[in-house]
Structure 1
Amino acid sequence: MTEAVGTHQTVYDLIKRASRVITPLSPINIFAARHPWANMEEETFEEVARSFEKTQNINLYPSESLLTSAIQRGEIQQDVIENKLAQWLKGRNDDLNIEIIEQYCKQKIMNDVNNIMISNHDKEKLEASLANMNKPYKNEHKHVLSSYIMHHSGQSCLDILNAQMIKWCKLYLDDTQSGWSIPKYGKGFYKTWNEMAHFDPALNKLMRHKIKTLPLEPIESIYYCLNRLGMTEDDFQTYLEAHLLSLPGWAGMLLWKDEQLVLVTDYLAIRLSLEWALISDESVELSNKDNIDITPIVSWIKCGMFTVDSWLQLSSENQDIYISFANDFDHITRHKLLLEAWEDTYEHRLKQEISSHISTEYKKEKVEAQLAFCIDTRSEPFRRQLEMEGPFETIGIAGFFGLPIEKCELGHHHTHNSLPVMNKPQHKIYEYVDTRQTTQYIEKKKSLSSLIYTFKKMKQNVLPSLLLPELTGPWLSLQTISRSFAPKSTGWLINQFNQKVLKKPETKLSIDRSQNDHNELPIGFTKQEKIIYVREALKLMNLTEQFASLVVICGHGSHSANNPYASSLDCGACGGSASGFNAKVLATLCNLPEVRAGLIKENIIIPEETVFIAAEHCTTVDDLQWVYVPELTDQATASFEKLKNVLPTVSRHANRLRLEHIPGMSRSKSNSRTKADRLSSDWSEIRPEWGLARNAAFIIGQRALTEQSQLDGRAFLHNYDWTKDLNGEILNTIMSGPATVAQWINLQYYASTVAPHYYGSGNKITQTVTGGIGVMQGNGSDLLTGLPWQSVMKSDEEYYHAPIRLLVVIQAPNIYIENLLNQNKTFRTKVENDWLLLSSIDEKDEWHKW
């Protein structure tokens, strides 16, 4: 009994360690940004890259073509490349002629090698010379066993295994999209599969018999199968990792559903059981033979340093030195140096742009309104246009505004965590109105939902689906024609319908603490909690004095038609939803007399004439939509009118600048707002907006630091004044929350660009929404984890998103940075292991690279 318990715990610990190679994947309708290596940051970026190439044949650095294109476009400067190469060579101690290795490195790094063909006879001679050496060089790869074995049907056993896992995951995870659902009986994934697999016609009689002999507990089944597959205990974790990485999307979705690893354990038990059943005992052989790799020798020959004959005349010792150097300067090292050169080039240009516009003498006229926007890179160009149009001050803060809430909007039965995914909600906030208005609105919503639900059910069932074309043909034909040939007008009509028929009434919020079930989150806030959340939000905005008469809290969201990835364009800080709700909550709290009275004790005095309102920045059309406007004072009313008067001009200019980068838009003669409206309403549009593509920097400092700089919508901007943060607590909060979200977004875009076949989601045109939870390519792929090709590329050949790691720039003295690195171990690890880059601007406006 003791041994069994020990085995259970050992296998569970192995699963827990192995699961670090995947990250939770949330459903597509609440798409949350996570970078795929978030649990591997204890290793360096290069170590993870080498591991993935060895186990999955995936290069985590930009490809040769991406890097060549960046050099041609001037995004990687030649002198920076040479500097990076010189630094790398300086750190070595090679017994080779420095001129020879410099020439070799430059030719390899610029891909300037001769197209010399090596004959089969010469290849055999080179392989023989390596085989005779004491240390033969071999090409090693580690994969799951089934990838080396061919099934009698002619397919790879791995392909058959993956197809089986995709089928069962789709059935088990289906979110009411399928007409016939799998009976789950509350037994868990593994036990449900174990009972049903006996009847699967896709499995032969022998496989079904083997499945019947499996243990009934998933952990026991994992241990049982690992042993019968010939794995030693030293290989267990690596082998489990390889299986998780075979389908990281489906595994990630199971991890999101249950971060206690119960479902992941079930998944691995099913996968290993199927692999063991699929591979007959006599076919399991070590066909994973190492091949002698002559690539390092060929690279010297192609660079013109040797011929085959001159190489063979070298002594074994000299051959070993040259091969070792070539192996050290492999494609990963070369791409690493070029990526760093790309990042250094961007940082150098950002430094020049900011430094040339820093002016301590810059003064702004009296501010009419202060607008707090999300740090989202799409807010930066809009903010700049707004500041150019009048005496308005803009502020940057994470879009959830520091409110750890779970929201439930009017007419919705389900709640949504409206905060970054690394945090847990602590309060539940409802929208409500008086009973009569609520009943009318909800009844209309229910009627529309019932109609849609009935339509979907009729499509999914055999007999009703035969009648559906007769019943809905004329209406759907009209919809198809109108949406295809007049998308903007159709979108306008739909909006008019929503505003007049489904008009949402003015709502109130359950911000006052009320009684609720002890097993649920508390509804609303206590008086002290209200004061604390407002105080912390104002401190994060660096808005604790000199309040304007009007303060606008601006959330943001996006609007597009027929877009499975719509939520990916909403607020990354709000778990894939629009953040106007959070803006309304904060503005409401800021207007409460009890909160203002409590803030006086904190030395934060909000003038009586100051009123907080809430808006939502629609990033697809660059416009502000008002979500909460209480009664205004005379001063606030005047400021509000001035703000509304300039918004059409701001929107027009912001749209024009944004649309210039969308392929095909610059050639259109219509005005920018008309173009933007068409993009957001067109159901055939594959790129309604660029989202956060080309994000590259996270700048933490006063707005005066960047207000005059042209940042091209590439920077997250967070307000910060180190003189008001004596203990560094605010800076640490920014790094732990908003900066981490920005890093996750950055590396999600990075991964979708450098490994689109594995971490992206392919072409939007060929995507299939499956199970109501995610997208696949076709009807049998992994559940895709990243962004579509159209979100990062202008065309098949031309990239739009520059895959460089996030540069964090902090405006603070060096002692603040040192304290931050010493106090925040997680952030320090990210910097030390190259998961993000760090620079700072000190009190003398001098730039420091850490």
Structure 2
Amino acid sequence: MSQVQSSVFAETTADVWQQMPAAALPEREQLQEALESVHQCIAPVWPLKDYVAVNPYHGITDRSFLNVRKYLQIFSDCETLMPLQHYAAEFKAGKFQLADIETALAELESENLPATSCPTAAQIVEALKQQDPEMVEQDADSQVARERQMQAFSEILDTHTGSRWTEVISDELSKFCVMHYDQGEAAWNSPWKHLSLYQAWHSAARHDRSMAILGISGFRELVAQLPPAPETALIYLLEKLQVPRQLWETYLLCQAYQVPGWSAWAKYQSEQWSSEDSADCDLTGLLAIRLAYEAAISEAKAFLVDWHSLVDSTPVRFKISTDAGEQVLQRYILLRTCEIAFRNRMLSQMQESAAENSRLVDRKMAQLAFCIDVRSERIRRQLEQTSPEIETLGFAGFFGIPMEYIRWGDVTGDNQLPVLLQPQFQLFEEMTTGDLADDQRLLNRQSIRRSVGRLWKRFQQSAVGSFPFVETMGLFYGLLLGKRTLRIGVQQSEEGETTQKNLAPRPSLRGLSEQGVTPDKLTEMAEAILRNMSLTTQFSRLVVFCGHESQTVNNPLKAGLDCGACGGHSGAPNARVAAEILNLPAVRQGLERKGIEIPNDTIFLAGVHNTTTDRIELFETDQVPESHQAELTSLQTLISQATQQTRVERLSTLKSPSTKDLLRRAYDWSEVRPEWGLAGNAALVVGPRNLTRQMDLDGRTFLHNYDQEQDPHGTVLENIMTAPMVVAHWINMQYYASTVDQRHFGSGNKTLHNVAGGFGILSGNGGDLKTGLPWQSLHTGEMFQHQPLRLQVVIAASRQAIENVISKHTLVSNLLNGGWVYLIACEEGSFYQYQTGNQWKQIDSAV
């Protein structure tokens, strides 16, 4: 048997190891500890129907940002920084100057970077001049030298023999996982679907000859010998591969990052089933399955790695070196430089408004509350510029309605709230024609139509029916294909909608009392909505909750363009329910008792902003009384003007020749860039609208209303910093990670995407599950549309109030003290940046 000592550890020195009494731990305890580290490190990914942005570094944000890079590169090739070529292009484009580099160097002294190894600003500029800014490739991380210390067995074997076993294992894993987790795409269901991932694979693999065909003749025999429990199998396989117990944790982390997509999906499954035991879940099973392939290949190829040569006689564990390479430091400094340049531009515009951050006194004709999503910034600005009679507000897009929304004719619904929360009640959609018999007739017709559709799809996909289906219906579907490609029959208006109209179901509050949602509960919900958006006085005659949604076709990742606060769904249902609740007389009376007096002439409406076409549709306008018709008509006219101006503003971002082309993107099934989503996001501003009313934030900033005068105890501020701020950080990091590391945290080329099992995406027909954003969502084809910057948060509140929140919440403290989020307090017209250890440094916004 060959004994191969991997060269990847050749540069490991004494400071890369840390003494630990690993040998004193029983096997199972040590495995449990290793598995907990793996589970902590992997962030989940949600299925396509609920797809939302996730920070892929979420589980390790207790480490500092720069420390995480070194940690990940012990056992993976993950990258967290852009290459120097990218910053050379940014410098050439004038996005930062020498002074910004000097400011970054001064600021980073507080992060305890070794002063002796830090380059000077002049040295960094010289390094940038030596780069070719035209050489920024699609996979930006491919330009960076690898620093990984731990490799998987299959990688070492591939390196020494020129084989492709790592790819084979990934394909085999994908094949089985797609089958096991299938949600209706497969012609046949797996007979082991009711079992856990490992148990199902253990049953199926004993009959699978795929590996034998590839030359691994003893694969099925090894599978038959495996223990039935995944954690026991892991111990068996680690020992079979002769991995020392001291390396178990690092090696299992390496295994998880061989297939980061499937690891993320298995983590999601584990969390959905609420397993308390990390040893008994699908992520543990996935690790055992991958190790089984490696053990079988090792045995068949008579190839072993001398893992014991990596440790001396004393049990040890990897430790992260505190030293960063010269180029890594330069790239990190340049990241901070770009962030400072963006920050200074933003604060210099904000300075004049900061001193006058009181709310407007005059009563407006209409107030429109939008989601904090960066795409709302443009439409909000255009609405306010169209008329001084309009005021806009920003609030989390689920509008405080924690519901499962069940659409008309459905049995199950969508969770219309942030994915980390659970719905508190179900709310059903109803068709209200005014005649119960007509309602029932329409419902029966809908049920029949759906049943026929399901049977027809099953016939199309069945092994027997698929061939005669193609023979019989092929020509007809070919005509439909041509019609759809040429968009024949789809008429578009400047409002961005087809001319077809249908009866529209509406949300109904009926049935809530049976679920314990009493009028008092509704009043509490309404109070929370108004207080969290700092709208407790000066109500307009019309107040509109405006959710948002996207409109695309042939786009499996559509949910990623919808409202993340609504769990990857349209925000329209939440807006409609919030408006209906606040129009209830009993709720109004309850709010008055709580100190919130809504004028009798104030009416709440709902709308939805289509972020692809920039059309705004208002709902239930037929219920607006005659007394408010003039305001409604005026509002609709102003909305039409503002949406058209917003489209004109967006033309240059998509290189569209006309606003009609923007509308075309919503219906074109070949369009890979229907809209930019949240690309470019870089900041969150929490404060009164007057702080940013006069600013053009270029659709890059989350905006959340907040008035500290209405929040004497800091309760609302705490809610914002622990929920919307964290969600904005997740979105920011999803876009950041997908840009700096497409290979691990992106999803590659959209045109190669295939839906896997109805729940995920593969590139082509194999490989790892794709979890992040596609290349076309980040890059124009010529340059990056998304500038990867960490989130910068500006909060109009006292430093003491902010510190109170930080001290109470470890997650918030980790994000701020670890360099994941930068926070700036706007207090009495001045700006102060938060620094590690509750320290503040005043910023000159005129820089």
TM-score range, shorter chain: 0.7 to 0.9
In the alignment, which of 290, 297, 307 is matched to residue 278 of structure 1? 297
Q: TM-score normalized by structure 2?
A: 0.85
Q: What's the counterpart of residue 286 of structure 2?
A: 267
Deviation at 1:771, TM superposition (A): 0.8
Select between 819-828 and 330-339 the one with higher mean Cα deviation. Answer: 819-828
Q: What's the counterpart of residue 352 of structure 1?
A: 348
1:194 aligns with 2:194: no
Counterpart contact for 2:98–2:125, Cα < 8 Å:
no
Letter in 1 for 2:377: E
- Alpha-carbon distance between aligned partners in 2 of 1:656 and 1:496, rounded to the nearest angstrom: 20
Select between 413-422 and 600-609 the one with higher mean Cα deviation. Answer: 413-422
Q: What's the counterpart of residue 130 of structure 1?
A: none
- Alpha-carbon distance between aligned partners in 2 of 1:513 and 1:237, rounded to the nearest angstrom: 51
Deviation at 1:222, TM superposition (A): 1.0
Secondary structure of the structure 1 residue equivalent to 2:686: strand
Assess, with a 3 A threshold, how the Cα gap between structure 1 residues 185 and 171 changes in structure 2: closer, same or farther. Answer: closer
Letter in 2 for 1:842: E
1:814 aligns with 2:810: no
Map 1:70-219 onto structure 2 (within 5 A): 70-85=90-105, 107-108=126-127, 110-111=129-130, 141-150=149-158, 155-184=163-192, 186-204=194-212, 205-219=217-231
Map 1:358-507 onto structure 2 (within 5 A): 358=354, 360=356, 366-390=363-387, 391-433=389-431, 436-486=437-487, 489=490, 499-500=501-502, 503-507=503-507
CA RMSD of aligned residues (A): 3.0
Letter in 2 for 1:615: G
Deviation at 1:822, TM superposition (A): 1.8
1:23 aligns with 2:43: yes
Map 1:272-311 onto structure 2 (within 5 A): 272-280=291-299, 282-286=302-306
Identity in percent:
30
- Alpha-carbon distance between aligned partners in 1 of 2:243 and 2:80, rounded to the nearest angstrom: 28
Secondary structure of the structure 2 residue equivalent to 1:573: helix
Secondary structure of the structure 2 residue equivalent to 1:624: strand
Q: What's the counterpart of residue 559 of structure 2?
A: 567
Secondary structure of the structure 2 residue equivalent to 1:284: strand
Q: Residues 433-491 of structure 1: CA distance to partner in whole angstroms, max 9, x if unpaired?
A: 46534433334434443454344333433442222234323432222222222368267
Counterpart contact for 2:394–2:703, Cα < 8 Å:
yes
1:35 aligns with 2:52: no
Counterpart contact for 2:415–2:423, Cα < 8 Å:
yes
Deviation at 1:77, TM superposition (A): 2.0
- Alpha-carbon distance between aligned partners in 2 of 1:580 and 1:460, rounded to the nearest angstrom: 34
1:242 aligns with 2:257: no
Assess, with a 3 A threshold, how the Cα gap between structure 1 residues 288 and 27 changes in structure 2: closer, same or farther. Answer: farther
Secondary structure of the structure 1 residue equivalent to 2:411: coil
Q: What's the counterpart of residue 266 of structure 2?
A: 254
Counterpart contact for 2:429–2:506, Cα < 8 Å:
no
Counterpart contact for 1:399–1:579, Cα < 8 Å:
yes
Counterpart contact for 1:369–1:552, Cα < 8 Å:
yes
Aligned length in residues: 770
Secondary structure of the structure 2 residue equivalent to 1:479: helix
Assess, with a 3 A threshold, how the Cα gap between structure 1 residues 709 and 849 changes in structure 2: closer, same or farther. Answer: farther
Letter in 2 for 1:747: M
- Alpha-carbon distance between aligned partners in 2 of 1:802 and 1:565, rounded to the nearest angstrom: 21
Counterpart contact for 1:66–1:799, Cα < 8 Å:
no
In the alignment, which of 523, 528, 531 is matched to residue 523 of structure 2? 531
Assess, with a 3 A threshold, how the Cα gap between structure 1 residues 378 and 93 changes in structure 2: closer, same or farther. Answer: closer
1:581 aligns with 2:573: yes
Secondary structure of the structure 2 residue equivalent to 1:149: helix
Counterpart contact for 1:429–1:524, Cα < 8 Å:
no
Letter in 2 for 1:735: M
- Alpha-carbon distance between aligned partners in 2 of 1:589 and 1:225, rounded to the nearest angstrom: 58
Counterpart contact for 1:372–1:397, Cα < 8 Å:
yes
In the alignment, which of 692, 704, 716 is matched to residue 730 of structure 1? 716
Deviation at 1:506, TM superposition (A): 4.3
Secondary structure of the structure 1 residue equivalent to 2:766: coil
In the alignment, which of 285, 307, 332 is matched to residue 328 of structure 2? 332
Segments ≥4 residues shifted beyond 6 Å: 89-96, 100-103, 287-290, 494-498
- Alpha-carbon distance between aligned partners in 2 of 1:628 and 1:175, rounded to the nearest angstrom: 35
- Alpha-carbon distance between aligned partners in 2 of 1:580 and 1:140, rounded to the nearest angstrom: 47
- Alpha-carbon distance between aligned partners in 2 of 1:383 and 1:279, rounded to the nearest angstrom: 61
Q: What's the counterpart of residue 801 of structure 1?
A: 786
Select between 740-749 and 430-439 the one with higher mean Cα deviation. Answer: 430-439
Map 1:43-82 onto structure 2 (within 5 A): 43-82=63-102
Counterpart contact for 1:549–1:635, Cα < 8 Å:
no
Assess, with a 3 A threshold, how the Cα gap between structure 1 residues 641 and 162 changes in structure 2: closer, same or farther. Answer: same
- Alpha-carbon distance between aligned partners in 2 of 1:392 and 1:354, rounded to the nearest angstrom: 21
Q: What's the counterpart of residue 230 of structure 1?
A: 242
Letter in 1 for 2:71: S
1:718 aligns with 2:708: no
Q: Residues 681-740 of structure 1: CA distance to partner in whole angstroms, max 9, x if unpaired?
A: 111111111111101110000001101111111111000001111111100100111111
In the alignment, which of 696, 699, 707 is matched to residue 693 of structure 2? 707
Q: What's the counterpart of residue 739 of structure 1?
A: 725
- Alpha-carbon distance between aligned partners in 1 of 2:289 and 2:174, rounded to the nearest angstrom: 11
Name stretches of at least 5 consecutive residues in structure 2 with no aligned partner: 1-24, 133-145, 311-320, 836-847
Q: Residues 305-357 of structure 1: CA distance to partner in whole angstroms, max 9, x if unpaired?
A: xxxxxxxxxxxxxxxxxxx99x7443221111000000000000000111144
- Alpha-carbon distance between aligned partners in 2 of 1:561 and 1:102, rounded to the nearest angstrom: 48
- Alpha-carbon distance between aligned partners in 2 of 1:34 and 1:590, rounded to the nearest angstrom: 32
Q: TM-score normalized by structure 1?
A: 0.85
In the alignment, which of 832, 840, 843 is matched to residue 825 of structure 2? 840
Counterpart contact for 2:548–2:562, Cα < 8 Å:
yes
Letter in 2 for 1:42: D
Deviation at 1:559, TM superposition (A): 0.7
Q: What's the counterpart of residue 320 of structure 1?
A: none
Counterpart contact for 2:85–2:128, Cα < 8 Å:
no
- Alpha-carbon distance between aligned partners in 1 of 2:344 and 2:263, rounded to the nearest angstrom: 40
**Greater Cα radius of gyration, structure 1 or 2:** 1
Letter in 2 for 1:255: K
Secondary structure of the structure 1 residue equivalent to 2:733: helix
- Alpha-carbon distance between aligned partners in 1 of 2:665 and 2:208, rounded to the nearest angstrom: 46
- Alpha-carbon distance between aligned partners in 1 of 2:130 and 2:191, rounded to the nearest angstrom: 57
